[in-house]
Structure 1
C-alpha cells in the first residue's frame, strides 16, 4: 500500500483491516501489525500508538467483547458478516476500555466505516448496537464467580475455557487469576539484553539517552534494560549497530543456567530468532562455538541477520530439522540448548491470538513433538554434558511432565540451579534443577527451564 493510499485511510480503518487479516484469515498478530506499521510511513507516532492499542486490545479482550455483543445483538457474533463483527468488536473495545475516546466519536466513525466499505444497509444496525451499549451504564452481567468459576474466568479474562480448566488442575485458583490478569497489564517497556561485547550497560544507556530512548534497569539481570519512547526498533542506531538485542529476561536466564565455560561447543536447536544462541556466544567470550539451527531458510536467514548485526565471531546458523538425527553431531556438544516448539501460553500477554489458536489437540501434539526432539538431540550431548530444556508455556505436560518422562527414559538427571540464578529471582525449585516462571508472580514472560546432566 502506498503512503498516499494509507493516508486516505483513518487509523480505525487500518486497525480494522489488520484485525480482519488476523481473525478471519489466520495471520499472526505481531507479524501483521509490524508489517502494516512498517510499510505505512505516513502514519504519525500517535496514529501508530492508537492502532497498536486498538488491535492488541481487541485481540486481548475478544471473548469478553463477543459475550457483551451477544447480549445486545439479535444476530449473534458468529453469524455476522466478518467486516461487521470485527467493526463492532473494535468499536466496543473503544467504548469499554479507551476512556479518552468519546462514545459519540466511536459510534459515528463505526457508521462511517460501514458505509465506506459497502455496508451502508447495516449502518443502522451497527449504530443501534453500539449506542445501546454506550447508554447502558450498568454494563453486561457476567457469570457469577462463586457459581460458575471457570466460565467467570473465561469471560472476564477473555481466555478459552479449556485453558482455564487445565491451569486449575496445575495451579491454585489465585495463581490462575494472577496469570490471567497479567496478560492485560500495560506494556510500556520493551526488554533488551545489552551486548557486553560491544558496550557496557552504562555506555548503552548513554547512547540510548542521546536518541531520546528512555531506559530503566531490568528486574533480575544486570545485562537487561527496559526501553520505551522509540518509533520502531529499526530506527534506533544502537540496535542497528548490534549494541543490544530484544530479549525477555526469562530467555536470558537460559545462558546462565547452562553454566557456559570458555571453549565450549554448544548446539542450539530450534534457535530462531537467535537470542539464546547469541547470548551463549557472548558468554563464551570469543572462544568456542555456538551452532544454532532451525528448519527453514527463512528462520536461518533471520538468525544470520541477527548474527551479522551483533558482530559475534563464534556463532553460525545452519538449516537442520531437529526431528532428524544428525550423525555428525553425536556426542559432540558440551551443551545442547533445546528451547522447543510449544503452546506459547506463557506469552499471551505479547501475542494474544495464541490463546485462541491453540487447542487441547494441538497442545497434545506438541507434547509428542517435544519428546520426539528431545529423543534425538539428547544424543548430541557428551557424557557429562548439559542439556537445557525450555519452553515459553506454563502447561505442566509440556514442562515438568516432559522432564519426568525424559529422565525416566534417557541417561540424564536434573541438576541443581543453585548459584546459577540471580539472587533477586525467587525460585523454590532451584535445588531440584528446574524453574517455572509465572506471569503475575514473576516479572517476566511465562517460561520453563530445566538443567539436565548426562550420566558419565
Structure 2
C-alpha cells in the first residue's frame, strides 16, 4: 500500500470493509458498523459508505459476471484488493445514477494505485471505461438457463434460486429475489416503560429524524433519514430499542402476563427478551439464556440502558436440559438459530455464507432445542417457536414433526393485533409466516402452542 496517494475517504473505507467481508469472511453489518464507529464522518459520507458496501454485497454475482466479461484477466487471478476496487467501481457505474461515471473511474484508479502495483491503474481504467462504453444488453447474461440467469441478475446462489422456485413457485420466487436486494426500513421499538410512542416520535423529530408509525405493532416507529441513531440522546436514555416489526410480533404472540415466569432459551441479542420484560411492566421474571457469554454481555447492556429489572441472564446451552425448570414456566420462547433467509435484505452476505448442508444441520439443532424447551412449560402455558427465515423446512416442518411426537401440545390460534395480520389466515391455525415481498417487513415464522 502506498500512503502518499490521496484517495476519496468514503470509498476507501467502503473498500476496506468489502475486503474484510470478501477475504476475511467478516459479517458485513458488523464490519461496516465498526468502520463507521471508528471514523469521524458526516451523515452524507456514512450514508454513501453504507450504500456502497451493501450495494456491492447485494449485487456481487452480477458485478463479478460483468468483471469476467470485460476483464482479460480471469477474476480468480485478480488480487483481492483489485477485485474489490473493480466491484466498487462497477457498482457505481451500473447501479448508481447520481454518481458521475468519471468520478467512479478516477477514484477507482486512485485506489488501485494505492492498494495495487504501479501499473494496475491502467488496467482498472481500461476495464471500467470499456463497461461505460458498452450498451445495456452487454451488461446482461443470456437467458438460455433460467436458474443461472436469475442467479446472476439477482445475485443469489443457484441453489437458493432453485429452492425459492420449488418452495414458492416462479412468480413469488422472483419477487423474493427482487425484494432481497432492496434496503429495509429501520424500525425502533418504543420503550413504553419510559415514554409513549407519540412522545418519542416528537422527541426524535426534534432531534432531526424523519419518523412515522409502524403498521404492525403499537410500539413501532419507522425512521427514514437515519445516520447513526445509536448516538441520539433518546437512544442513550433508553427510550427505544432498534428492532424490526416482525421481531416485535414475537413477544406479542407469546403474550406474557404480569408476574409470570418466562424463559427465553436463545435470548441474544436481547430485542425480544427486553420486549417481553417491557410487556410484563418489569414484573415477574424473565430467565434469558444464551450459550455465548459475549452475547449475554450485549443483552446486559441493553437491559441496563432500557431500565429493565425483571430479567435474569444465564449462560446456558439450549441443546442441554435443565430439569429444575421442568413444568415451571408460564411462557417459553424458542427463538431458534436458523438460516436467516428472511433477513437477507438486512444481512446480504447471508446468501453467500449458507448452503443446503447448513440447513440440514440447523434443523437438527432446532428440533433438539424445541423439544428441550417444551419440558419447561407448565400445564396451560404457552410455547412459542420463532425464526427469521422463510424456509418451510425450518418452520412448518419443524412444528408438524414436534406435534406428531408431543401429544401434550396443541396449536393455539393467534389474535390479530394489527390490520396487516388479518390478511394472514394461517393465524387461526396458530402460526404466522411473514414474507418481505408481501408484508414489507423481515421474513419471520412465529408459531404458538399450548400445553394441554
Q: TM-score range by the shorter chain?
A: over 0.9
Residue 329 of structure 2 is aligned to residue 330 of structure 1: no
Secondary structure of 1:346's partner? Answer: coil
Secondary structure of 1:387's partner? Answer: strand
Secondary structure of 2:119's partner? Answer: helix
CA contact (8 A) 1:213 1:228 kept: yes
CA contact (8 A) 1:390 1:449 kept: yes
In the alignment, which of 101, 104, 107 is matched to residue 103 of structure 1? 101
Secondary structure of 1:133's partner? Answer: helix
Structure 1 CA distance, aligned partners of 2:112 and 2:8?
Answer: 13
Quote the residue 2:34 is aligned against.
35
Residue 368 of structure 2 is aligned to residue 372 of structure 1: yes
TM, length-normalised to structure 1: 0.94
In the alignment, which of 392, 397, 400 is matched to residue 396 of structure 1? 392
Residue 88 of structure 2 is aligned to residue 90 of structure 1: yes
Structure 1 CA distance, aligned partners of 2:174 and 2:329?
Answer: 41
CA contact (8 A) 2:414 2:431 kept: no
Residue 357 of structure 2 is aligned to residue 358 of structure 1: no
In the alignment, which of 280, 299, 302 is matched to residue 303 of structure 1? 299
Matched pairs, number: 448
Which runs of no fewer than 5 residues in structure 2 stay unpaired? none
Residue 211 of structure 2 is aligned to residue 215 of structure 1: yes
Quote the residue 1:65 is aligned against.
63
Structure 2 CA distance, aligned partners of 1:79 and 1:117?
Answer: 16
Residue 45 of structure 2 is aligned to residue 25 of structure 1: no
CA contact (8 A) 1:415 1:431 kept: no
Once the two structures are superposed, the pairs formed by residues 76-87 of structure 1 within 5 Å of their partners are 76-87=74-85
1:398 Cα deviation from its structure 2 partner: 0.6
CA contact (8 A) 1:178 1:439 kept: no
Change (3 A) 1:286 1:115: closer
Residue 428 of structure 2 is aligned to residue 431 of structure 1: yes
CA contact (8 A) 1:16 1:86 kept: yes
CA contact (8 A) 2:8 2:107 kept: no
CA contact (8 A) 2:415 2:427 kept: no
Deviates more, 1:420-429 or 1:127-136: 420-429
1:412 Cα deviation from its structure 2 partner: 4.7
Which runs of no fewer than 5 residues in structure 1 stay unpaired? none
Change (3 A) 1:116 1:418: closer
CA contact (8 A) 2:414 2:429 kept: no
CA contact (8 A) 1:434 1:449 kept: yes
Structure 2 CA distance, aligned partners of 1:19 and 1:319?
Answer: 33
Once the two structures are superposed, the pairs formed by residues 434-449 of structure 1 within 5 Å of their partners are 434-449=431-446
Deviation beyond 4 Å, 4+ runs, structure 1: none
Once the two structures are superposed, the pairs formed by residues 111-150 of structure 1 within 5 Å of their partners are 111-140=109-138, 142-143=140-141, 147-150=144-147
Quote the residue 2:181 is aligned against.
184
1:226 Cα deviation from its structure 2 partner: 0.6
Structure 1 CA distance, aligned partners of 2:19 and 2:299?
Answer: 30
Secondary structure of 1:24's partner? Answer: helix
In the alignment, which of 50, 64, 83 is matched to residue 52 of structure 1? 50
CA RMSD of aligned residues (A): 1.8
Residue 205 of structure 2 is aligned to residue 203 of structure 1: no
Change (3 A) 1:361 1:342: same
TM, length-normalised to structure 2: 0.95
Quote the residue 1:194 is aligned against.
190
Residue 310 of structure 2 is aligned to residue 314 of structure 1: yes
1:139 Cα deviation from its structure 2 partner: 4.2
1:227 Cα deviation from its structure 2 partner: 1.2
Change (3 A) 1:63 1:394: same
Deviates more, 1:378-387 or 1:226-235: 226-235
Deviates more, 1:309-318 or 1:338-347: 309-318
